[in-house]
Amino acid sequence: MILTALYLQSQTFVDPTIRAAAVQSLLLAGLFVVLFLESGDGDLLYLAAITAGVRGILIPAVMLYQVRRFKHSLRENGTGQRVPSLVIVGVILVIGGYALFKTALLPTLSNPATSVPFVLVLLSFLLIVTRRNALTQMTGFLEEENAVLYAGALIAPSIPLLIEFAVVLDILGVVLVGVILSATRDVLRTLEEPELEQLKG
């Protein structure tokens, strides 16, 4: 999971980023299946199906369709040169995040595996705040959602219906994002146009 997150950080083109997010979601679905086999909790199987179907296949397919509308591989504007340093920042976040988790959370949560989603949340935030392309930011959001649902399944698997509701609402959110993205193609090249000066200050 963390390797896929670091791979996401290392990409300057949008399509491999989307594919990596899809792989991460499928890996998470596999983890939910393993947890189901251990605990027998049917909710986990349901969650695995939604994770694989929606975040592993459906949403990446919609996003890749958006990319194909440009008829060429879409690349981050201006972020390419910064990618190596962002990967280093990502690695530092992994190490620092784990150290922080071990000090602050491990004594209470008592499950070292919870450190993985904790670190993933940090990496997803890094992806969202450092990228300018809307689709790459969206993969950051998918990664964050993966991380939190992973944390939920590890920390409180019996939490009533919350995970299912969260997934349903996020589907709705992503559908809306799809509508916004399709409303104008130009929105994919954001923040560098003079008219967006109006959104400064």
Q: Which residues bind other proteins (CB under 8 A)?
A: 104-105, 107-109, 121, 124-125, 128, 134, 137-138, 140-141, 144-145, 148, 151-152, 155-156, 159-162, 165-166, 169-170, 172-173, 176-177, 179-181, 183-184, 186-187, 190-191, 193, 195-196, 198-199, 201
Nearer to other proteins, 52 or 127 (CB): 127
Contact indicator for 61, 174 with CB cutoff of 8 Å: no
Nearer to other proteins, 45 or 171 (CB): 171
What's the closest the beta carbon of residue 116 comes to other proteins, in angstroms?
14
What's the closest the beta carbon of residue 134 comes to other proteins, in angstroms?
6
What's the closest the beta carbon of residue 108 comes to other proteins, in angstroms?
5
Nearer to other proteins, 41 or 84 (CB): 41
Nearer to other proteins, 38 or 197 (CB): 197
Report the alpha-carbon distance of residue 53 to residue 171 in Å, rounded: 11
What's the closest the beta carbon of residue 146 comes to other proteins, in angstroms?
10
Nearer to other proteins, 42 or 183 (CB): 183
- Pick the closest to residue 139 from 48, 7, 20 (CA basis): 20
Count helices and strands in the chain by DSSP H and E runs: 9, 0
Nearer to other proteins, 81 or 194 (CB): 194
What's the closest the beta carbon of residue 166 comes to other proteins, in angstroms?
6
- Pick the closest to residue 186 from 138, 133, 142, 141 (CA basis): 133
What's the closest the beta carbon of residue 190 comes to other proteins, in angstroms?
6
- C-beta contacts of 51-59 below 8 A and 24+ residues apart: 51/25, 51/26, 51/146, 51/149, 51/167, 52/25, 52/26, 54/167, 54/170, 54/171, 55/21, 55/22, 55/25, 55/28, 55/142, 55/145, 55/146, 56/22, 56/25, 56/26, 56/29, 57/22, 59/142, 59/174
